[in-house]
């Protein structure tokens, strides 16, 4: 009979009623949660001290948009994030772990229009609810540093940063065709257009010619790309890859073609080696260049074509299946290598805002040009020799150059790379071209024609032009508008607020108008992690010394949907702020982790599918700790979690099992474990050691498995081993409580208290490990024959190779397996393996 059963039955016999006995074997999450929330509120254990002598760590989670209460997705990120943050506290770091809200944006604005309210009403109500839920969820955020991007104290500095960027020439206005969402009635950045649809509302995006504000992110394209190599080891592959593809660097050349009776035309090409095969030119139909080049004779045809192009949606235009269209502009360019006059066409397969908006067409080596040449009967000259069995059209593979010589230079016979170098050299010599690099990345369009955002702090004066609002007049506060005032009309609602928009020019004092656009909310979120370091600063955006003390963020956890948007913008901001001397580093996030999505029954949760899982219901049913544990134990953090495959009841069971250990310990607080049961002490030491390494590698699910193993080992020790009084049992139970506090703070706190300690377990220390206990007294050696396991031996870890070999060969199973065969070789990897080759 095991000791535990004895104890339980005697307790019951003596004094306990049925309910008391039940209380002793399980705890009620709801009442425990309430109790500890109060204790934590009083102790405030996670307030980050700027002046702490401890080494600093910065744990950051992408701050949420306050669209309502928290959902399963938030729960997952917070649970994962909390493991790292709490671990660092236990390892003796001073941890900055702030939380705030990305509280400008269209959701609140649309809700305000619907309910005839002010967006702030909706926003701040949701912030209050979410904050409360966050606290109940047991997160270790430092709420003394919270911020909302819609607070004037915050957006004042968003505006200030805009002005600083403008001073440096990094914020500018230009007129160009922009992405327009007809439903949200606002322009969109390229990053917000997904397959021709609005990222937010799904409407088909159209083009409009508008004057808009841009950030010159392209100036940093090369560094944004280069630094990805440095970040690659600590950032997820898919984010690195997505950013590389988005930046889209290519190498080639600019080549200038003289134009008969016109200004010279420069094109960008990645294949300058094929220049001898350029048989015509194509200019983007909707580029100003095309309108300049077209001859009077061809103008009617061009105008008609342009009309057609403008009507086509982006969706149509993006299709590669679409037949080529175009119109001859009536003008000829001169190919610099052979002096041939080649026609200049306009077409919509050339984009106005990439490269120079014009190309040299080499149909023999480019499929698009091939199709165009076929359709309009233009000549095709091969300049790369395709393989003998080539049956395709344009040939883009490797091969020797042909038909590529003039009096001064011959590329014939050269392979592609060699030919590129040679022709660029020649072009540079002739001053007809130069090697060039191009990026797919475009400048960041930041103006939005909506209300609920930070107003752009510029005044437009007929006399003085663009005038920045003087810094001492910041913030430019939003006018009080609500309900129907906010209805989208194609211009910003701010433009209609007469009292607000009409101002005296700060420069000349004459009548002027405020810029009525607001900033993209991605501007707000590009610097919030810096503000957290000194959130109450009133005379500057942030304290540079504190930013440098805390930053860069040691880990940034969030959704992969921000792989190119927010993460690229925040990197750009940091580089600019570093150039301004305001930040001491160039990359804001040293390590990054993307959590997966919580789905249900194989599909994304949605109202229409009716497969939504409500966080509140799960928490009520299983308790906060069990839900957190389930989310963290489900698998690697970056994998999706199908809630239907999970077992929160299994988590409840485990937590109760762990908690029960704390009630079984009978040795006093502070009992010296050194004389305790060695086997259990080894198990504890291993679990603690491995759990630490696993947390550092973000392998939280495996860390929990190690804690489960320790709970199982401790249970066994109590019931059928050394018994509950052995100090090793206390040591193990305390280690379980501490490690469990990373995931299940309430259960851990209960355990810690029942083990006789004062709160809080979250601010005690990670258990120390005696290295001697990590050394095994014996190991299991595996004996293989032909790589197949035939026997296992318990041997000393420092066994000699010869001894191990002799023991292995003496095994009956081994002898049987090699019987009648010649032993050719014996591989010995003492102390764990012997492989006999026959």
Residues 441-500 that bind RNA (CB under 7 A): none
State which of positions 10-39 bind RNA (CB under 7 A). Answer: 25-26
Phi-psi region of 378 (alpha: psi -120 to 50; beta: other; left: phi over 0): beta
Task: Please identify, using beta-carbon distances, which residue of 496 and 708 lies nearer to RNA.
Answer: 708
Report the nearest approach of RNA to the CB of residue 336 (Å).
16
Instruction: Give yes or no for residue 57 binding RNA (CB under 7 A).
Output: no
3-state SS assignment for residue 751: helix
Q: Which residue has the tokens 């009083």?
A: 42
Task: Please identify, using beta-carbon distances, which residue of 37 and 227 lies nearer to RNA.
Answer: 227
Alpha-carbon span 246 to 729, nearest angstrom? 55
Q: Which of 163, 704, 733, 793 binds RNA (CB under 7 A)?
A: 704
Type and span of the H or E element at 41: helix 29-43
Alpha-carbon span 569 to 575, nearest angstrom? 10
Instruction: Give yes or no for residue 832 binding RNA (CB under 7 A).
Output: yes
Pairing of strands 249-259, 262-269: antiparallel
State which of positions 518-577 bind RNA (CB under 7 A). Answer: 560, 563-564
Q: Which of 135, 586, 689, 716 binds RNA (CB under 7 A)?
A: 716
Q: Which of 105, 357, 453, 727 binds RNA (CB under 7 A)?
A: 357
Report the nearest approach of RNA to the CB of residue 694 (Å).
8
Q: Which of 650, 668, 670, 675 binds RNA (CB under 7 A)?
A: 650
Tokens of 579: 């150039």
Tokens of 755: 């083990």
| DSSP-assigned states of every residue in 167-194 | HTT-EEEEEEEEEEETTTTEEE-GGGEE
Type and span of the H or E element at 553: none
Report the nearest approach of RNA to the CB of residue 835 (Å).
4
Beta bridge partners of 599: 604, 642
Task: Please identify, using beta-carbon distances, which residue of 147 and 337 lies nearer to RNA.
Answer: 337
Q: Which stretch binds RNA (CB under 7 A): 82-90, 349-357, 443-451, 802-810?
A: 349-357
Q: Are 342 and 303 in contact (CB under 8 A)?
A: no
Q: Which of 666, 701, 764, 796 binds RNA (CB under 7 A)?
A: 701
Report the nearest approach of RNA to the CB of residue 364 (Å).
12
Q: Which of 591, 708, 725, 809 binds RNA (CB under 7 A)?
A: 708
Question: Packing angle between helix 72-90 and helix 678-696, nearest 10 degrees?
Answer: 120
Task: Please identify, using beta-carbon distances, which residue of 108 and 432 lies nearer to RNA.
Answer: 432
Instruction: Give yes or no for residue 649 binding RNA (CB under 7 A).
Output: yes
Tokens of 210: 């508008």
Report the nearest approach of RNA to the CB of residue 301 (Å).
18
Alpha helices (H) along 502-633 = 521-524, 528-531, 544-550, 565-579, 615-622, 624-633
Q: Which stretch binds RNA (CB under 7 A): 11-19, 485-493, 518-526, 629-637?
A: 629-637
Instruction: Give yes or no for residue 412 binding RNA (CB under 7 A).
Output: no
Q: Which stretch binds RNA (CB under 7 A): 208-216, 244-252, 336-344, 755-763?
A: 244-252
What are the distances in angstroms from CA 563 to CA 75, 577, 639?
Answer: 20, 21, 16
Report the nearest approach of RNA to the CB of residue 390 (Å).
16
Length of the chain: 838
Alpha-carbon span 436 to 428, nearest angstrom? 11
Closest CA to 82 of 580, 480, 624: 624
Instruction: Give yes or no for residue 642 binding RNA (CB under 7 A).
Output: yes
507 Cβ neighbours under 8 A, 6+ residues apart? 461, 464, 467
State which of positions 651-670 bind RNA (CB under 7 A). Answer: 652-654, 656-657
Instruction: Give yes or no for residue 821 binding RNA (CB under 7 A).
Output: no
State which of positions 252-291 bind RNA (CB under 7 A). Answer: 252, 267-271, 284
338 Cβ neighbours under 8 A, 6+ residues apart? 276, 406
What are the distances in angstroms from CA 634 to CA 247, 595, 698?
Answer: 34, 12, 13
Instruction: Give yes or no for residue 715 binding RNA (CB under 7 A).
Output: yes
Q: Which of 39, 183, 351, 775 binds RNA (CB under 7 A)?
A: 351
Task: Please identify, using beta-carbon distances, which residue of 764 and 832 lies nearer to RNA.
Answer: 832
Q: How many residues bind RNA (CB under 7 A)?
A: 87
State which of positions 738-767 bind RNA (CB under 7 A). Answer: none
Instruction: Give yes or no for residue 313 binding RNA (CB under 7 A).
Output: no
Alpha-carbon span 326 to 348, nearest angstrom? 7
Q: Which of 27, 246, 332, 746 binds RNA (CB under 7 A)?
A: 246
What is the 3-state secondary structure of 403-436?
A: CCECCCCECCCCCHHHHHHHHHHHHHHHCCEEEE
Q: Which of 152, 264, 379, 636 binds RNA (CB under 7 A)?
A: 636
Q: Which of 91, 310, 317, 689 binds RNA (CB under 7 A)?
A: 317
Q: Which of 354, 434, 537, 807 binds RNA (CB under 7 A)?
A: 354
Q: Which residue has the tokens 């601010």?
A: 763
Order of all β-strands in the sheet with 598-600:
603-604, 598-600, 641-642
Instruction: Give yes or no for residue 320 binding RNA (CB under 7 A).
Output: yes
What are the distances in angstroms from CA 146 to CA 44, 511, 643, 820?
Answer: 14, 39, 31, 77
Q: Which stretch binds RNA (CB under 7 A): 120-128, 318-326, 409-417, 540-548?
A: 318-326
Task: Please identify, using beta-carbon distances, which residue of 547 and 828 lies nearer to RNA.
Answer: 828
**Rounded to a whole number, what is the largest CA-CA distance in the chain?**
112
* Cβ neighbours of 475 (radius 10 Å): 19
Task: Please identify, using beta-carbon distances, which residue of 36 and 349 lies nearer to RNA.
Answer: 349
Q: Which stretch binds RNA (CB under 7 A): 47-55, 454-462, 522-530, 639-647?
A: 639-647
Report the nearest approach of RNA to the CB of residue 246 (Å).
5
Task: Please identify, using beta-carbon distances, which residue of 144 and 250 lies nearer to RNA.
Answer: 250
State which of positions 181-200 bind RNA (CB under 7 A). Answer: 194
Instruction: Give yes or no for residue 54 binding RNA (CB under 7 A).
Output: no
């Amino acid at each position: 009979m095991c000791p535990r059963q004895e104890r339980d039955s005697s307790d019951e016999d003596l004094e306990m009623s049925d309910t008391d006995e039940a209380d002793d074997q399980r705890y009620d999450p709801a009442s425990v949660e309430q109790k500890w929330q109060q204790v934590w509120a009083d102790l405030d254990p996670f307030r980050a001290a700027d002046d702490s002598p401890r080494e600093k760590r910065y744990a950051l989670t992408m701050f949420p948009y306050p669209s309502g209460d928290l959902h399963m997705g938030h729960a997952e990120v917070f649970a994962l994030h909390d493991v790292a943050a709490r671990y660092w506290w236990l390892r003796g770091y001073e941890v900055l772990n702030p939380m705030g809200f990305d509280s400008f944006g269209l959701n609140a604005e649309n809700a305000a229009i619907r309910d005839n309210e002010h967006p702030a009403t909706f926003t701040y109500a949701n912030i209050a609810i979410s904050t409360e839920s966050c606290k109940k969820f047991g997160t270790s955020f430092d709420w003394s540093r919270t911020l909302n991007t819609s607070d004037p104290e915050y957006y004042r500095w968003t505006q200030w940063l805009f002005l600083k960027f403008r001073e440096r020439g990094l914020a500018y206005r230009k007129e160009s065709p922009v992405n327009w969402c007809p439903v949200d009635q606002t322009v969109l950045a390229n990053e917000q257009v997904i397959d021709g649809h609005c990222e937010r509302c799904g409407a088909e995006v159209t083009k409009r010619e508008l004057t808009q504000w841009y950030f010159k992110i392209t100036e940093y394209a090369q560094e944004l790309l280069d630094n990805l190599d440095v970040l690659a080891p600590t950032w997820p592959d898919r984010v690195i890859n997505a950013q590389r593809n988005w930046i889209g660097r290519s190498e080639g050349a600019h080549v200038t073609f003289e134009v008969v009776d016109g200004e010279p035309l420069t094109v960008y090409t990645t294949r300058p080696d094929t220049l001898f095969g350029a048989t015509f030119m194509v200019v983007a139909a909707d580029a100003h260049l095309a309108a300049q080049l077209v001859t009077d004779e061809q103008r009617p045809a061009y105008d008609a074509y342009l009309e057609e192009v403008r009507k086509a949606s982006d969706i149509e235009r993006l299709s590669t299946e679409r037949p080529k269209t175009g119109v001859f502009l009536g003008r000829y360019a001169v190919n610099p290598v052979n002096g041939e006059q080649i026609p200049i066409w306009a077409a919509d397969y050339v984009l106005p805002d990439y490269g120079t908006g014009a190309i040299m067409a080499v149909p023999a080596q480019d499929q698009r040009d091939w199709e165009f040449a076929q359709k309009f009967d233009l000549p095709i000259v091969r300049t790369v020799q395709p393989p003998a069995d080539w049956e395709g059209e344009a040939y883009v593979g490797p091969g020797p150059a042909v038909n590529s010589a003039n009096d001064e230079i011959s590329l014939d016979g050269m392979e592609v790379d060699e030919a590129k170098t040679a022709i660029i050299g020649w072009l540079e010599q002739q001053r007809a071209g130069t090697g060039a690099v191009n990026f797919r990345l475009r400048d960041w369009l930041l103006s939005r024609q909506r209300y609920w955002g930070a107003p752009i702090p510029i005044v437009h004066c007929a006399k003085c032009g663009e005038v920045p609002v003087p810094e001492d007049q910041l913030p430019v506060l939003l006018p009080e508008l609500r309900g129907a005032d906010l209805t989208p009309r194609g211009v910003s609602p701010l433009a209609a607020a007469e009292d607000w928009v009409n101002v005296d020019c700060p420069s000349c004092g004459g009548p002027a108008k405020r810029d009525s656009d607001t900033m993209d909310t991605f501007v707000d979120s590009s610097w919030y992690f810096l503000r957290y370091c000194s959130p109450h600063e009133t005379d500057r955006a942030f304290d540079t010394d504190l930013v440098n003390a805390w930053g860069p963020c040691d880990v940034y956890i969030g959704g992969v949907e921000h792989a190119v948007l927010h993460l690229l913008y925040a990197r750009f901001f940091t580089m600019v702020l570093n150039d301004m001397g305001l930040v001491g580093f160039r990359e804001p996030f040293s390590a990054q982790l993307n959590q997966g999505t919580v789905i249900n029954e194989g599909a994304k949760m949605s109202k229409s599918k009716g497969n939504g899982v409500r966080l509140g219901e799960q928490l009520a049913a299983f308790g906060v700790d069990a839900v957190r544990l389930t989310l963290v134990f489900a698998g690697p953090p970056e994998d999706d979690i199908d809630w239907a495959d999970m077992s929160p009841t299994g988590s409840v069971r485990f937590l109760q099992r762990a908690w029960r250990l704390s009630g079984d310990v009978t040795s006093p607080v502070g009992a010296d474990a050194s004389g305790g049961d060695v086997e259990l002490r080894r198990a504890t030491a291993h679990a603690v050691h491995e759990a630490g390494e696993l947390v550092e590698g973000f392998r939280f699910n495996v860390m929990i498995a190690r804690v489960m193993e320790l709970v199982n080992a401790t249970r066994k020790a109590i019931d059928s081993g050394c018994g509950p009084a052995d100090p090793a049992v206390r040591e193990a139970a305390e280690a379980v409580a501490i490690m469990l506090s990373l995931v299940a703070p309430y259960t851990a706190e209960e355990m810690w208290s029942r083990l006789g300690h004062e709160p809080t377990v979250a601010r005690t220390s990670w258990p120390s490990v005696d290295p001697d206990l990590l050394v095994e007294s014996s190991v299991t050696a595996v004996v293989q024959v032909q790589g197949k396991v035939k026997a296992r031996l318990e041997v000393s870890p420092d066994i000699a190779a010869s001894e191990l070999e002799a023991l292995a060969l003496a095994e009956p199973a081994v002898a049987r397996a090699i019987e009648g065969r010649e032993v050719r070789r014996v591989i010995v990897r003492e102390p764990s393996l012997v492989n006999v080759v026959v």
